[in-house]
Structure formats: structure tokens, C-alpha cells
Structure 1
Amino acid sequence: MQHLLNLLAAIALLVWGTHIVRTGMLRVFGENLRQILSRSFSSRLSAAAAGLGVTSIVQSSTATCLIVASFVGKGLVTTGPALAVMLGADVGTSLMAVVFSFDLSWLSPLLIFVGVVLFISRQNTAAGRIGRVLIGLGLITLALQLIVAATRPLTEAPAVRTLLVSLPNEVMLNIVVGAALTVLSYSSLAIVLLTATLAASGLLTTPVALGLVLGANLGSGMLALIATGNAAQQVRRLPLGNLIFKLVGVLLAIPLMPQIHVLLQQLAPNVHDQVVFFHLGFNLMLAVTFISFTGLVGRTVDRWLVEKSGPAGSTRPRHLDPVALATPSLAISCAAREALHQADVVETMLRGVLPVIRNNDLDLAQQLRQLDDTVDELYSAIKFYLTQISHEALSERESRRWTDIVSFTINMEQIGDIIERVLQDVEDKKVRKNRSFSDAGMAEIVHLHERLLANLRLAMSVFLDGHVRDARKLLEEKARFRDLEHEYAAAHIARLQDNTAQSIETSSLHLDLISDLKRVNSHICSIAYPILESAGALSKTRIRESRLSAMTDDAA
């Protein structure tokens, strides 16, 4: 029982090591992986080479598939070139299995020691993130040694030997078992390395091990398809096409297994090498055979999974791709796009305020107030999506971006609430009582409204691009708007002293309205604070003054 427990612990350590390396590499390279992939679609060979390189880094063809599938889903690349990337990605995974098949017992303690020193001493730097990757690599090599040590007593047990002798040499059953183990462990690399180690220990016969390797390849294709099960049709095209390649490859390999076994014995006398070289050879032949058919299979899958067009003018979440959550840098971009979508809805509400005031349009006011529910829904969806992003795989810059998105969406949600209250006040105090502002008062409201729209568009640009110059300009607008509010409030008081009838009737609404517009502007301008603070362009005194001003605005 103790030996079995040791084996299970070693297997868990192997899977955990591959997870640490994958997340660590994503944190080190971040958006660079996306850029490498996005620039490699000019030809099939370059696409396959990019897939091989990226997968060798992250050690997961499934992670590469999810990244590229999101590109396909957004229309950035067609399915054909994306399938070429995946053929290279599978070769990359098999190459890593060959690397880990060498005797790396001397390397494991070195990697773990250096990795821990770097991670502890420079945790929040690039060196610390590289240290995390080294720890993962060290754990993988250590886990392989532990598996060998744990399987040796098991193979010597009479009951286990009897069980091994009675195992059927049924390739289809082995394929199913290999696929199931890969799906459960979420790593074909771990299963192939485990299979090779068990075969070298005599716990598995070579034909059974080769069948498990075929199943592991099939299981890696199933993993991506399962991960995109709830995604849009266009996102699922790449996983389906990749699974088709793997399935056809497995079906072609099954009748050739006896000849392949004999050939492997001639090329590599060591059983461990036979297993990993078979894994590499299978994926190489898959790439060479099917790279010319990526366009055909891509077009076929496109016809099977037709994009479903949503209703025109839909305001529900559009960009929160659940598939992208496996790649945190990509998920951050999705959340940012959805935040801009939320801002677009807020802008629609803000634009509609002036026609409601001018035309006493109750129907439009009701429609705009209903949009606040959409703003709230988008805020909740973005916030929930962001909580699902793995922080351990985020770089320092991406972590700041995560915070910026949260701050931006909070401000948009609060602006939506203020506009809803403004519309309700206009309905109650002006439209239903059939009152109107004086010409001078209406001109002031129009001027403030125009500045608000301009500031909102500038804030969206600042959020998108992060330009310090625009952020400074946006912050300056806060002081200008506050001066305008004081000026127009004084002008309104002067009109009251002149006994202007229209000003008297709408006095309360007018003052509340310009105060609420100032509050909206304060939320808009606060979007500049994180940009300036991260760039070191905002002094501590200025931050304190701004926060005090914001508290004063909220209390007004």
C-alpha cells in the first residue's frame, strides 16, 4: 500500500510540475506568445514552426490550441493556418518528452535549488518568474525518478506480475485508457512520460505502452474540444479540426502497430526510448502527412460549425471568451474589450440625456434608464470574469492592467447610476410638469453635456492606450469642469434675482443637474489616476488632493 501511495504522489508531482512550468512560462512571456503566433500565419511552415516553438516553451499543446482558437473565434485568422500551428504544437510536446527521457537526475536538485533562490530573493521580478519555471522543471525530473523508484517494488510483487501477464494486448482498449488518463490529468506530456517510465520498469509491455501513447495523443485533442464546449461555434473549429487529424492518424497507425513495434526495436533497444520516439515519430508523421490538408479540413470544419449571428444591437457581453481564461494575458485583453463595450452603453445613455431634456421624451427616457440594467449586468460579468483569471500567471504589467479594468468598470457602473437618477429627476420635475429651462440655462446644460461627451471619449482612449499626455489632459478637465459648475450656478442665481420665471420653476432641477453632471465628470476623470500613478507622473500630494476632492464630490 505504501508503494502504491508513493507512486500516486509521484504522478501528482509530475502533473503539478508541468502545470508550474506552463503557468510560469505564460507569466514570463505573456503577450509575446500571442504576438509570435499572430505573426506566423503567413505560410503553413512558419505557422507550424511557431506552434512548435510556443508549445516547447509552455509544454502544453492544449494551451497553444486555446490561444489560437481564440484568434479563430475573433476572426483574426482562418481555421486552415491555425491547424498548421497545431500540427507544430503537437511536435513540440513530443520533443519535450524526448528531452525529459534523458538521465537528468543530476539536473533536478540543481534546477530546484537555483529556482527557489531566484523565486524567494526576486519574487516580483522577471528573474523570480524564471525561478518559478526552473522549480517546475526540477519537479518534473524529480517526479520521473520517484516514479521509477516507486514502480520497482510493485513490479517485483507476485500479484502485480500475475496481473501484468493477464492484461490483454488490445490496442483499442489501451487507446481508450490512454485518452481517459490524459483528460483526467490535463497533460498528455505527463501521461507519455509516465507510460515510458512504467514500460522501462517492466510494469507495462511495449505494445500496451504504445497503445497508451496513441490514446494520450487522442486525449490531448479531446481536452481542447472539452475546454471549448461552451464557447462560440467559431472558437470550436480549431479543436475539432485538430481532433480530426489525431483521430485519422490513430486509425491509420492501428493496423501498422506490429511493424512499428519491430522497427522501434531495431532503432532503439531501450524500451523507454522506444515509447518516447514513437510519440515523436507519430506527431512528426502527422505533421508531414496532414500539413497539405489543413486548408481542406479548415473549410470543412467551417461549414460544420457555422457562426451564429446574435441579434442586432445586442448589448449583452460579447468579448468575455471563457476559452481565453486558460491564457491570462489573452483573458485580460478580452476583459478590456468588454469594458469598452460597457463604456459604449454608458455613452449611449449620456447622449440620450439631452434629447430627453429638449423634447420631453418620456419613451426615450424609459429606454435609457433600462440601459442602466445592461451597464450593471456588464459590470457583474466583467468582474466575475476577472476573478476567474489565474493571478499566478499574470506579469506585473498585466496585474496593473487587471486593476485598471476593475477601476474603469466601477466608474462606468457609477456613471450609469447617476445618469439613471438624472433621467428620473428630469421626468418628475420637468417632463411631467411640462416645464422648460430658460434659453441661458439650456445653453449652459448643452455646453456641459458636450464637454462630458468629449471627456468620456478621451477617457476611453486613455484606458485603451494608456498615454500619459492624454491622462494629464483628462485630469485637467476635472478642474475646468468644476470651475464651469461654479460659474453656471452663480449665473443661475443671478437669473433668479432677475425674477426669470423659467429659472424659478426649474431652479432645483437646474442646480441638481449641473451638480450631477460634475459628479459624472469626476468619475470620468478618475480613470486617469491609475495611468499617471503607474507612470510615476502623479505626485503623492496630488493623489491626496484628488482623493479628497473625489470624497467632496461624492458628498455633494
Structure 2
Amino acid sequence: MKHLLNLLAAIALLVWGTHMVRTGILRVFGANLRSTLSRSLSSRFSAFASGLGVTALVQSSTATALIVSSFVGQGLVALPAALAVMLGADVGTSLMAVVFSFDLSWLSPLLIFVGVVLFMARQSTNVGRFGRVLIGLGLMLLALRLVTASTAVLTQAPAIKSLLGSLSSDLMLEITVGALLAVVCYSSLAIVLLTATLAASGVVPAEVALGLVLGANLGSGALAVLTTLRSAVEARQVPLGNLVFKLLGVVLAAPWVGLWLQAVRPYIADTATLVVLFHLAFNVVVAIVFIGLTQWIARGVERWLPRQPRGQGGPLERPQHLDPSALATPSLAISCAAREALHQADVVETMLRGVLDVIVRNDLRLAEDLRKLDDTVDQLYSSIKYYLTKISREALGEEESRRWTDIISFTINMEHIGDTIERVLIDIEDKKIRPGRSFSEAGMAEIRELHERLLANLRLGMSVFLNGTVHDARKLLEEKARFRDLERAYSRTHLARLTDKTVPSIETSSLHIDLLSELKRINSHICSIAYPILDSAGALAPSRIRESKFDELG
């Protein structure tokens, strides 16, 4: 039982090491990888080369597929060129499998030691993030050695020996199991390396190992398709085309597995090398066969997943910023979430602008339409929050992690403002429009003044969220104090009008006081946008309560 647990732990460590390398590379080179890909798509052969190089770094053809899918979804890259990138990506991950199959056990402690030193010394810099990549590489090599040691002990057990002796090759079952493992582990590279190690240890026969390798290739294609299921049609075409390559490749290669073993085994004694070379040969042959057919495959994919005609979505059509394919590049995903948060703020601004029109024109229909917009604000908040939870926090640098938090805080404030505006509209309907009451001229002037300031502060808050400048954040926080003082002054003047027995003021007194309070609450949510920016810059006073108290005493 202990040796089985050791094997499972080694497998988990291998998958985790692969994950660390992928996220670490995306932290350091995320934006540069995208620009490299975008610049090298002029021809199918340069696209193939760029896919090979990028995937050799990232060690994940799935991550490359998601990056390229986002290009196609934005109309920046033609589908045939994107499919050529994927052919190169599959060869790139195969080359890395060959590299890791060598005896690099001596390198594992060195990589882990250097990586930990770099990471602990400079965590928030690219040097520290590169140290994280080295730790991941070292853990992968260590995991492979642990897998070998654990399987060597397990295969000596009588029960395991009899089980292995009863195994017969069922190619379809092996392909299915390999595909499922690649999807579950989110890494075909880890499964291929694990299979090679198990084959070298005698846990699985070579024939079974090659079937698992074919399945792992198929699983990596299926994984990208599953990841982009909720993306736009254009973004889903790349993973589907790549899956077609893999399906056709598996169909073509499956009958030749036995012949491969007969032809190559006399020259390659090491079973692990035999397995990873089969993996490399499979992807190289697929690339050679299909590199000239990307145009044909692209046409087939476009027939299966036809693009929707642009400009026919009606007046409500707008860009969908929460692109699932961008999740492969966390820095890009953060930008997507920020753009959607600004759209949420635009909806809130529409609601806020409409409040004054409802008050002035007593428009019940407009009030109802504006209240319905609060459902849109709530839906946008939920979508942005869910999207942000899918962004790998490990793959974010310190600044991007701070931006992640800022977006969450911003969307929460917008959601609260939308709820407050909905309450205000209900009060206006119940306490002013339906009873047929009116504000006094002086009271209406006060409401206009506060409403105008509120709109200006909301626009300033959106600018602070977008640009993050300390100067604008200070200005926004100063507006909070001004607005509070103005609200108090207008509350006093309203009480003075009640003393003078001004009839409109008496009739709308409850609504007027509540409205001033709700507008102040909205302004507080707007000004809260400034706190994270000022806190990050060290410009936020440690205790505003204490300072204000000293000011009063002075």
C-alpha cells in the first residue's frame, strides 16, 4: 500500500511540476508569447515554427491552442495559419517529451536549488518567476525518478506480476484511457512521460504504452475543444481543426503500431525512449501530411462551425469581452475582465442619468426600464466574478494580482450602486409620481446639483479604475468629503423650508431626505474605487477618523 501511495504521489508531483512550468512561463513571457505568435503568422511554415517554439517553452499545446483561438476570435489571424501553429505546437510538446526522457536526474536537485533561491530572493520580479519555472522543471525530473523507483518495487509483487502477465493489448481501450487521462490531468506531456516511465519499468507492455500515447494526443485535442466550448464560434474553430488533425492521425497511425515496434525495437533497447520517439514521430508525420492541407481542413471546420454574419445581431449587439480562450494568458484575461467591468459601469451610468429624467418628467415607463437594467448590472457582476475565479492566480504577477482585486472591488461597488438606484426609483414612483407630488424649486435645484456632481464623480471613478493614477484617486476621495458636506447643508436647508411650511417640501419631505441619503451612499461606493489605488501607492492615511478628530480639536 505504501509503494502504491508513493507512485500516486509521484504522478501528482509530475502533473504539478508541469503546471508550475506552464504558469511560470506565462507569468514571465505571457504578453511576449502572444506578440511573437502574432508576428510570425505570415505563412504556414513560419506559423508552424512559431507554434513549435512557443509550445516548447510553455510545455502545453493546449495553452497555445487557447492563445491562437483568441487571435482567430478577434479576426487577427486566418484559420489556416492558426491550424499551422497547432501542428507546430504538437511537435514542440513532443520534443520536450524526448528531452525529459533522458537521464537528467543529476539536474533535478540543481534546478530545484537554484529555482528556490531565485524565487525566495525576488518573488515579485521576473527573476523570481523564472525561479518558479526552474522549480517546476526540477520537480518534473524528480517525479520521473520517483515513478521509476516506485514501479520497480511494485512490479516485484506476485499479484502485480500475475496481473501484468494477463494483460492483452486492446488498442481502442488504450486510446480511450490515454485520452481520458490527458483531459483529467490537463497535460498530454505529463501522461506521455508517465507512460514512458511505466513502460520502462515493465508495468505496462510497450504495445499498451503506444496505445496510451495515441490516446494522450487525442486527449490534448479534446481538452482544447472542451475549454473553448463557451467561446465565440471563431475561437472554437482552431481547437476543432486541431482535433480533426489528431483524429485523422490516430486513425492513420493505429494500424502501424505493431509495425513500428518491429522496425524500431532492434535499434532502440530502452523502452522509454521507444515510447517518446513514437510520440514525436506521430506528431512529425501528422505535421508533414497535413501542413499542406490546412486550407482544406479550415474549410471543413468552417462548414461544421459557420461564423455568424457580423452586424446582424440588432442594436443590442456588442463585443463579448469575457473571452474564455484568453484564460490561457492570464494577463490578457485580466484586461478582458477590466473591459467588461467598464461596460458594467456604463450601464450603471445609464441608470443614474435616467433618475433625474424620471423625477422631472414623472415617467413611470422609463423608471421601469431603468429598474430592469439593474438585472443587467447584477448579471454582469456575476459573469465577471465567475470569469475572474477561472483565472489562475498563480500565473499572475504582483501587479496583475492587485488588478484582479481592484476589478472585483470595482464590480461589487457598481452592483451596490445599481441596487441603490433601483431602490431610489421605487421610492420616487411610490412617494412622488403616483401620489402626484412635486419637489419645491429650491429642493429640485439641490437634487440637480447633487445628481450632476454624482455623474461627474462616477466618470472620474471610471477614469481612476482605468488608469489608476494617484492624482485622480486623491481628487475622487476629496470629492467624497465635498459631497458629504453638501448633503448635510442641503438637509439643513430642507429642514428650514419645513419650518417655513413650504407645502411641496412638507409633502415630499420623507422622499427628499431619503433621496439625499441614497445619493450620498452612491457617492461613497464611487469614491471607494480610489482606496485600492491610494493604498497601493502608500498615499492612504492610516486613520482618517483620528485625523478628523484632531482637526476638530485644533
Q: TM-score, normalised by structure 1?
A: 0.85
SS in 2 for 1:104: coil
Tell whether 2:344 aligns with 1:376: no
1:260, distance to aligned residue in structure 2 (A): 4.0
Native 8 Å contact 1:316 1:378 kept in 2: no
Q: Secondary structure at the match of 2:460?
A: helix
- Give the secondary structure class of the aligned counterpart of 2:453: helix
Q: Which residue of 2 aligns with 1:236?
A: 236
* Counterpart-to-counterpart distance in 1, 2:501 and 2:150: 95
Partner Cα distance (1:378, 1:518) in 2 = 24
For each residue in 1:183-241, what CA deviation from the matched residue of structure 2 results, as whole angstroms up to 9, or x when unmatched? 34332112211222233334444444333322221121122223334555444322211
Match of 2:400 in 1: 398
Q: CA deviation at 1:129?
A: 3.4
Structure 1 456/308 Cα, relative in aligned 2: closer, same or farther at 3 Å?
A: farther
Report the Cα offset of residue 95 of structure 1: 1.6
Displacement of 1:98 after TM fit?
1.5
Corresponding residue for 1:13? 13
- Partners of 2:534 and 2:540 within 8 A in 1: no
For residues 441 and 40 of structure 1, the distance between their equivalents in structure 2, rounded to whole angstroms, comes to 64
For 1:392, what is the secondary structure of its paired residue? helix
How many Å separate the matches in 2 of 1:295 and 1:522?
56
Bigger drift between 261-270 and 56-65 goes to 261-270
What is the CA deviation profile of residues 360-380 of structure 1, one whole-angstrom value per residue up to 9, with x for unaligned ones?
011221222233233234334
Instruction: Tell me what 1:416 maps to.
Output: 418
Q: In structure 2, do the counterparts of structure 1 residues 269 and 420 end up closer, same or farther at CA, with 3 Å as the change threshold?
A: same
Give the root-mean-square deviation of aligned CA atoms.
3.6
User: Which residue of structure 1 aligns with residue 227 of structure 2?
Assistant: 227
Q: Distance in 2 between matches of 1:92 and 1:416?
A: 49
Matched with 2:552 is none
Partner residue, 1:114 = 114
Instruction: Quote the offset at 1:351 in angstroms.
Output: 1.7
What is the letter of the counterpart of residue 105 of structure 1? Answer: S
Report 1:150-189 matches (<5 A).
150-155=150-155, 164=164, 167-169=167-169, 171-189=171-189
Tell me the residue number matched to 1:427: 429
Q: 1:540 aligns to what SS in structure 2?
A: coil
| Residues in 1 aligned to 2:192 and 2:206: alpha-carbon distance in whole angstroms | 13
Cα shift at 1:523: 1.9
Does the 8 Å CA contact 1:317/1:378 hold for their aligned counterparts?
no
Say if 1:315 and 1:345, in contact at 8 Å, map to a contact too.
no
Amino acid of the structure 2 residue aligned with 1:82: A
Q: Is the aligned partner of 1:101 residue 2:118?
A: no
Please list, as runs of the form range in 1=range in 2, the aligned pairs for 1:150-549 lying within 5 A after superposition: 150-155=150-155, 164=164, 167-169=167-169, 171-257=171-257, 260-261=260-261, 264-265=264-265, 268=268, 270-306=270-306, 319-321=321-323, 324-325=326-327, 327-482=329-484, 484-485=486-487, 502-503=504-505, 505-536=507-538, 538-540=539-541, 544=544
The SS at the match of 2:239 is helix
Deviations 1:74-110 (A, max 9, x none): 5554433332332222122112112112211111122
Q: CA–CA distance in 1 between the matches of 2:212 and 2:332?
A: 33
Structure 1, residues 493-539: CA drift from partner, whole Å, max 9, x if none? 67667776545544554444344333322322221222233234x24
The count of corresponding residues between Structure 1 and Structure 2 is 547
* CA gap 1:461/1:385 in 2 versus in 1, 3 angstroms: same
Distance in 2 separating the partners of 1:227 and 1:267: 40
Shift of 1:147: 2.4
Amino acid at match of 1:201: S
* Structure 1 runs not aligned, ≥5 long: 550-556
Cα distance change on mapping 1:511 and 1:313 into 2, 3 Å: farther
SS of the aligned residue for 2:344 comes to helix
* Alpha-carbon distance between aligned partners in 1 of 2:319 and 2:385, rounded to the nearest angstrom: 12
Change (3 A) 1:175 1:521: same
Which digits, 9 at most, give the CA deviation of each residue in 1:390-417, with x for residues without a partner?
A: 4333221121012101211121122112
Q: Which letter does structure 1 place at the counterpart of 2:465?
A: F
Amino acid at match of 1:523: H
Is the alpha carbon distance of 1:407 and 1:2 closer, same or farther for their aligned partners in structure 2, counting shifts above 3 Å? closer
Structure 2 CA distance for aligned equivalents of residues 114 and 199 of structure 1:
31
Structure 1 residues 519, 167: closer, same or farther in 2, change over 3 A? closer
Q: Is contact 1:316–1:374 with CA below 8 Å preserved after alignment?
A: no
SS in 2 for 1:236: helix
For residues 137-163 of structure 1, the C-alpha deviation after alignment (integer angstroms, 9 at most, x for no partner) is 112111222222233345556765665
**Residues 344-389 of structure 1, C-alpha deviation per residue, up to 9 Å, x if partnerless?**
2211211211211111011221222233233234334433443444
Q: What residue identity is the alignment partner of 1:365?
A: A
Inter-partner Cα distance in structure 1 for 2:281 and 2:162? 32
Q: Aligned equivalents of 1:119 and 1:285: distance in 2?
A: 40
Seen in structure 2, the aligned counterparts of structure 1 residues 153 and 306 have a Cα distance that, compared at 3 Å, is same
Residues 317 and 381, structure 1, Cα contact 8 Å, conserved in 2:
no
The residue type paired with residue 394 of structure 1 is L
d(CA) in 1 for partners of 2:536, 2:56: 33
Q: Which runs of 5+ in 2 are unaligned?
A: 550-554
